[in-house]
Structure 1
Amino acid sequence: MSEESNKSLVPHFAIGAIVIAIILAVFFWPNEPEVEPVPDVIAPTVEPITAEPVVEPEVLEPVEPEPIPEPVEAPVVIEPIPEPEPLDTSDGAVKTKLLTLTDYDAFARLIIDESLLQRFVVMTNTLADENISPSHNVLTNPEQSFRVYRQANKDWIDPASYKRYTPYVDVLDSIETDSLIELYEEYKPAIKEIFAEISSPNDDFEEKLVEAIDILLDTPEVPVPVEVFTDSVMFKFADERLESLSGPQKQLLRTGPENMRRIKAKLREIKESFKQ
């Protein structure tokens, strides 16, 4: 409390003396006129007029007011600021927060329970290098297998193969981008710590994340049906231009035109959020 505030709490007293004045009665003696002598007459005895004693006014000593005690301020108690609880980076905690962003049951069936943050970091770093690391997927593989149909002695991707990815895209599309970015910001310190263990000192995770997004956004749009062929090991794109694409881009093509359109739209939203 300031000194000026303290002074305002003390009342100002005007101290003076109280004087009691007593009004005295004054008696006059009359001037009598001269008169002839008269026979002796016993004059009545006249009592002399005695003036009342003058009483001096009583002067009272000024009374000093009792000092008002200074107000005692209550001690200011500063509550200690509680230490923030350490961020729970366990798979259970991360998965629980992810599942709150969208349909719980649908997402729970698709997400992998083991080493979620590590998988996310490694997968992002691998995508930025235009590669795929199947052992670090964040989501489970589709239950249905890749299918083709044969027509005019050529193999074409069956539209049913595209539908395998629709549940994944539905979940991704249902997540609010702002909520996803907010969750990312919460776990950013842990993510950067994991990234520092697998990257060069000058690398930045968010730059890698944007690079990975750009690679997927650069995937060309192609008309359907899409011709493929097999070399007895796996199916490849018959169009050499498509086959020369990076692994992540070819994987995105296999989700089908509609799913790829929806995935790209979400990726653009995420990328724009990093620019803000």
Structure 2
Amino acid sequence: MAAIAAGAWFYFNPQEVESANSGLTTQELALPVATIQEQGSSANALNLSSETLPKISTEEPSLGSDQALPALENSDDFFREQVARLSPGFGPWLKEDELIRKFVIIVNDFSQGLRIYKHMKPFTLTEAFIAEKDNQGLYLSPKSYQRYNQLASAIDDINVKDGLQTFRTLNALFQQIFKEFSYPESYSVDDLFQKAAAEILTAPVIDSRIALTKAKLGYKFNDPKLETLNPVHKQMIRMGPQNTRIIQNKLRLLTEGLANMMP
């Protein structure tokens, strides 16, 4: 599901705001049950999609004799084609090789609330993080949020039904990477995607000024409550409130659809 690709496909600058957290362990997270409608005027103000949740078959799709599922090692072009159909805006992030492996590894990191530099490095943004100063001190500039507008727009353009069908199409390839993690048999690749999504969906949305402190590498959030958040939540804050709402609203629809597909 380029679904949570969206959610999990954050290719960010690792030195923007230092993390005070290390050695985080996986925690069980209940998927938020709020719907887009419960977000009220914020969703309408952003002109977000009002898609209704589609009914999706739980059966693996048939690709037909002229479109057989490729071997994992030869799947890059197929993956690019599938994701580009969902949203052409993802193009800039599809130039790497071993895309499915890298994608599933990042999803696995996100499911544990982690952003691991060596996994994210190939996809870092070229635009610089922007901190500004006023009479109160350093703060996170709203200009910095604009670096993520293209990603948020690409995610918002995903049609929910198509996203879920694409997830089913690619599922067998995802499974091959997932098996390497040696999770218990009771834990599935669908569970992994749901848990990664839950981390993104539970990130706070902050509309007010965010104070920063200069650190050895980059900046830290001045508010201890923000600085002790896990790396995924902190990354969502750095994307800005509008982009966070766009991503969370679309991701909520996708994960609700995925939950309905699970046996």
Is TM > 0.5 for Structure 1 vs Structure 2? yes
* Distance in 2, Cα, partners of 1:178 & 1:153: 47
Whose helix proportion is higher, 1 or 2? 2
> Are 2:206 and 2:240, in contact at CA under 8 Å, matched by a contact in 1?
no
Listed one character per residue, the Cα deviations across residues 24-80 of structure 1 (whole Å, up to 9, x for unaligned) are xxxxxxxxxxxxxxxxxxxxxxxxxxxxxxxxxxxxxxxxxxxxxxxxxxxxxxxxx
* Distance in 2, Cα, partners of 1:170 & 1:83: 34
- Residue 206 of structure 1 aligns with an amino acid whose one-letter code is D
- Residue 87 of structure 1 aligns with an amino acid whose one-letter code is L
1:195 aligned partner: 178
How far apart are 1:268 and its partner, in Å?
A: 0.3
1:209 aligned partner: 193
Q: 1:87 aligns with which of 62, 69, 85?
A: 69
- Cα-Cα RMSD: 2.1
Distance 1:83 1:108, change over 3 A: closer
The total of aligned residue pairs comes to 193
How far apart are 1:215 and its partner, in Å?
A: 1.3
- In the alignment, does 2:104 pair up with 1:118? no
> Are 1:101 and 1:180, in contact at CA under 8 Å, matched by a contact in 2?
yes
2:150 aligned partner: 167
Unaligned runs of 5+ residues in structure 1 are 1-81
- In the alignment, does 2:245 pair up with 1:266? no
SS in 2 for 1:165: helix
1:109 aligned partner: 92
Listed one character per residue, the Cα deviations across residues 143-178 of structure 1 (whole Å, up to 9, x for unaligned) are 211011111251001111000000111111111121
Unaligned runs of 5+ residues in structure 2 are 1-63
Listed one character per residue, the Cα deviations across residues 69-125 of structure 1 (whole Å, up to 9, x for unaligned) are xxxxxxxxxxxxx9796412410111022112223xx43223342111111211111
Which one has the largest radius of gyration?
1
SS in 1 for 2:232: helix
How far apart are 1:227 and its partner, in Å?
A: 0.5
Provide TM-score, normalisation by structure 1: 0.65
* Distance in 2, Cα, partners of 1:195 & 1:218: 24
> Are 2:96 and 2:122, in contact at CA under 8 Å, matched by a contact in 1?
no
Deviates more, 1:169-178 or 1:112-121: 112-121
How far apart are 1:139 and its partner, in Å?
A: 8.2
* Distance in 1, Cα, partners of 2:111 & 2:78: 27
Distance 1:250 1:113, change over 3 A: same
Provide TM-score, normalisation by structure 2: 0.68
SS in 1 for 2:93: coil
2:82 aligned partner: 97
Distance 1:151 1:93, change over 3 A: same
